[in-house]
């Protein structure tokens, strides 16, 4: 063998070995090369190495080129590949995320993503906002939102708010709507405020395992000192972290998505909801609430409980839902992905909403309002489409 072939082998076999160690990762050995994964992948068409090809090259003992290529950063961690694989290979976790980890270790990181990761470390949020101002949004309410550190008592719900929900001007409106709904229903809740750190899940999926663990440790430190019944979160990525990833580190906390809590309270909620006009509502299943964690019905039940709203389904829904492009570091890779593909996943979704003549696109993830609202501006026929989180729809119906 030539010298450079020999030097490639140890890396590739080490990488391959590490994949097999991930739970069910050994299924990679059973890949049929059917290309379903590469086919369903929303950005598969611009990747030098879509998942299927990655496995093929790895088997051939040659992965250095993949490391040097930057197309791994086109992966949005949407789990579409994992969903369709006939051999149940956990492709997203066992292959794509691991490949990003290697690329990151080798220093192959797009600049936008680098800033988001550095901000996450310095400020506990990827936006680079002061961590001390994480609860500044509560000042816009006319009631006080309890903060764990100040309350010295147990309470029912610890509401994990999240990064974009705390700081982003558009997403804050959703947070405020949720706070008002919780207040109206008399839910006994508190937030961590400045003690809350990014859940770290998107950073984990972007290849920064060490950063994820560091953030998880910080959150665990704060949570373990608080007394509460369960964590409720408005963020499917935080939900995924607490449900599936934090336990792997030994941090176990009961968690539900806020839609599950509100469905439980439907008897109290329904009488408060008045009709606020008639509209057709298309519900977008977020990847990490729907496909990854199989919560499809709770959000729909809430929409159906609002008088005047007619729930319609888009062509891709539930487990086939289209990713908005924000996950897995996508919020911090838009410039990069636009330059590579000249397309935006969020626009694809808006076109589907336009096709079924929806008036409102309902969402349930903090990445979505800004992403879909931007897409609305770029898609012909979408001028009148309104994007709202389910909480905003509920609040509109209460206030009316």
Partner 1 sequence: MTEIVVIARLVPDLVEELEIAPSGTALDLSWLRLIINEFDNHAIEQAVILKEKTGANVTIISPEAEGVEDMLFTTAAKGADRLIKLTGIDEEKPTNESLAQTLAGIIKEINPDLILNGVQAHDDIAGDLAPQIADLLNLPYVGYISGVSIEGGQAKAFKEYPGGILAEMEITLPAVLGIQASEEPPRYVAISKVRQMMSTTTIEEIAGDGLATENNFVIDRMYLPEAAEKAEMLEGNEEEVAQKLTAILQDLGLL
Partner 2 sequence: MTQDIFVVIEHIQGQVSDISYIMIAAARELAQAQGGNVVGIILGSGAENLKDSLAADQVIYCDHPALAEFSSDACKRTLLSIFTEHDPRAIFFGNTTIGSDICSSIATHGSYPVINSCIRIAEGGAITSQICGGKIMVDSQLADKTTILTMIPGGYKPEQGQGGPPTETINFSPPDLENLKVKLVQFIEPVPGDVDIAQEKILVAIGRGIQTEDNIELAEELAALLGGTVCASRPVIDQGWLPTSRLVGKSGKSVKPDLYLSLGISGATEHLEGILESKTIVAINSDPDAPIFDVAKYGIEVDLFDFIDPLLEQLESAKNG
Residue ranges that bind partner 2, judged by CB under 8 A: 335, 338-339, 377
Residue 23 CA from chain centroid, whole number: 21
285 binds partner 1 (CB under 8 A): no
Which CB, 274 or 377, lies closer to partner 2? 377
Nearby residues of 88 by Cβ (< 8 Å), 6 or more positions away? 24, 27
122 binds, among partner 2, partner 1, none (CB under 5 to 8 A by kind): partner 1
335 binds, among partner 2, partner 1, none (CB under 5 to 8 A by kind): partner 2
**Region binding partner 1 by CB under 8 A among candidate stretches 29-37, 88-96, 208-216, 276-284:** 208-216
Q: Which of 89, 96, 99, 117 is the binder for partner 1 (CB under 8 A)?
A: 117
Shortest Cβ 253–partner 2 spacing (Å): 35
Q: Residue 90 is encoded by which pair of tokens?
A: 């956990």
Contact letters for partner 1, residues 29-58 (x by CB under 8 A): ------------------------------
Cα distances (Å, whole numbers) of residue 332 to 48, 129, 325: 21, 15, 10
Q: Which of 23, 86, 128, 254 is the binder for partner 1 (CB under 8 A)?
A: 128
335 binds partner 1 (CB under 8 A): no
Compute the distance between CA of residue 264 and CA of residue 283 in angstroms, rounded to an integer: 20
339 binds, among partner 2, partner 1, none (CB under 5 to 8 A by kind): partner 2
384 binds partner 1 (CB under 8 A): no
132 binds partner 1 (CB under 8 A): yes
Which 3 state secondary structure label does DSSP give 157? Answer: strand
169 binds partner 1 (CB under 8 A): no
**Under 8 Å between Cβ of 129 and 167:** yes
Kindly compute the dihedral angle of the four CA atoms of residues 25, 29, 30, 33, in this order, to the nearest 10 degrees. Answer: 110
**Phi, psi (5° rounding) for residue 283?**
-100, 125
**Cβ-based neighbour number of residue 383 at 10 Å:** 9
Considering just the CA atoms, what is the radius of gyration of the chain in Å?
A: 21
105 binds, among partner 1, partner 2, none (CB under 5 to 8 A by kind): partner 1
Which 3 state secondary structure label does DSSP give 274? Answer: coil
Compute the distance between CA of residue 277 and CA of residue 396 in angstroms, rounded to an integer: 10
Compute the distance between CA of residue 249 and CA of residue 171 in angstroms, rounded to an integer: 30
Contact letters for partner 1, residues 245-274 (x by CB under 8 A): ------------------------------
Binding site for partner 1 (CB under 8 A): 101, 104-105, 107, 109, 111, 114, 117-118, 121-123, 128-130, 132, 207-211, 213-214
């Amino acid at each position: 063998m030539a010298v450079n072939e020999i030097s490639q082998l140890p890396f590739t076999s080490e990488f391959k070995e590490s994949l097999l160690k991930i739970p069910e990762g050994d299924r990679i050995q059973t890949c049929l090369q059917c290309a379903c994964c590469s086919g369903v992948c929303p950005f598969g068409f611009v990747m030098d190495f879509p998942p299927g090809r990655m496995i093929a090259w790895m088997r051939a003992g040659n992965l250095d080129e993949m490391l040097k290529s930057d197309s791994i950063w086109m992966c949005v961690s949407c789990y579409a590949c994992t969903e369709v694989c006939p051999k149940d290979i956990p492709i997203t976790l066992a292959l794509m995320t691991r490949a990003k980890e290697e690329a990151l270790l080798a220093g192959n990181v797009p600049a936008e993503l680098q800033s988001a990761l550095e901000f996450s470390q310095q400020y506990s949020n990827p936006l680079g906002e002061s961590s001390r101002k994480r609860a500044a949004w509560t000042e816009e309410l006319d009631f006080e939102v309890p903060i764990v550190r100040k309350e010295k008592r147990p309470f029912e719900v610890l509401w994990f708010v999240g990064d974009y929900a705390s700081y982003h001007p558009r997403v804050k409106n959703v947070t405020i709507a949720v706070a008002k709904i919780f207040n109206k229903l008399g839910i006994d809740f508190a937030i961590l405020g400045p003690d809350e750190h990014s859940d770290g899940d998107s950073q984990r999926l972007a290849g920064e395992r060490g950063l994820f663990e560091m953030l998880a440790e910080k959150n665990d430190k704060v949570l373990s000192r608080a007394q509460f019944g369960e964590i409720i979160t408005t963020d499917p990525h935080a939900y995924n972290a607490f449900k599936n990833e934090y336990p792997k580190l030994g941090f176990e906390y009961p968690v539900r998505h806020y839609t599950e809590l509100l469905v439980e309270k439907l008897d109290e909620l329904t009488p408060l909801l008045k009709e606020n006009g008639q509209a057709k509502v298309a519900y977008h299943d977020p990847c990490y609430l729907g496909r990854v964690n199989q919560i499809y019905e709770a959000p729909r039940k809430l929409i159906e409980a609002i008088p005047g709203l007619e729930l319609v389904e888009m062509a891709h829904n539930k487990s086939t839902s289209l990713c908005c492009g924000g996950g897995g570091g996508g919020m911090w890779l838009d410039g990069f992905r636009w330059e590579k593909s000249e397309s935006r996943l969020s626009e694809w979704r808006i076109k589907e909403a336009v096709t079924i003549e929806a008036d409102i696109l309902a969402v349930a993830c903090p990445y979505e309002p800004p992403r879909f609202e931007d897409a609305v501006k770029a898609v012909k026929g979408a001028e009148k489409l309104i994007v709202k989180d389910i909480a905003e729809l509920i609040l509109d119906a209460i206030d009316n």
